Amino acid sequence: MKIVSTLEHYELLMDENNDPVQDPPQLQAYMNGWDGPIFYDFLSPNNKSILEVGVGTGRIAKEVLKRGCQYLVGIDISPKTLNRARSNLKQYTNLELVNSDIHSFIRPNAFDAAYSILTFLHIEDKEKALFNIHNSLKENGTFVLSVSRDDEWLECNDRKIKLYPIGLEEYIHLFLSVGFQIESIQETESKYATIIKGRK
């Protein structure tokens, strides 16, 4: 089993035609349960400018846009994944997809809200990522993060990908250290993830 980078892994997923937006209904229902209604309640996307960190093929973005998001910017490190997202979200004009890493992406005071689902497990410098998100939010902007329970390695097909898991208490500490106030913490329906909502 070979070790690959996060970027290589997601490029390979596209080569393998692994697209959650195109999953069969049963698998889509499972993934939607992972995020759960708590996530959308916390995000409250209607009439907001929103940043998604790790947009992938657009599974969450599609729902956020359907719920009345005013403008959505989705960033992702994988060009092939973004090309698939452009196809999946082609009916939306209030959307910008950017090939970028949250370690370097920042748009000061640009967004009412930001969110990230199943992406922070790949981010090594979580403090830098949270700092950039915090500074990209407008005053009183909110960030909603899905924290999954991960091992240090992800195995997929013939490859392994290094992950960077930390505990909930460490996430809370990092939120506070970059200037977020913790508004709420709740477990999702899936029981595999916890949703943290912070306010700038």
* Owning domain of residue 65: 2-199
Is the confidence at residue 192, as pLDDT, over 90?
no
pTM, rounded to two decimals: 0.95
Radius of gyration of the chain (CA): 16
CB distance 102 to 73 below 8 Å? no
Report the percentage of the chain scoring pLDDT > 70. 99
pLDDT at 33: 72
- pLDDT tens per residue, range 84-126: 999 999 999 999 999 999 999 999 999 999 999 989 999 999 9
Q: Give the number of domains in the chain.
A: 1
Who's near 117: CB < 8 A, 6+ residues apart? 34, 35, 39, 54, 60, 146
CATH no. for residue 13?
3.40.50.150
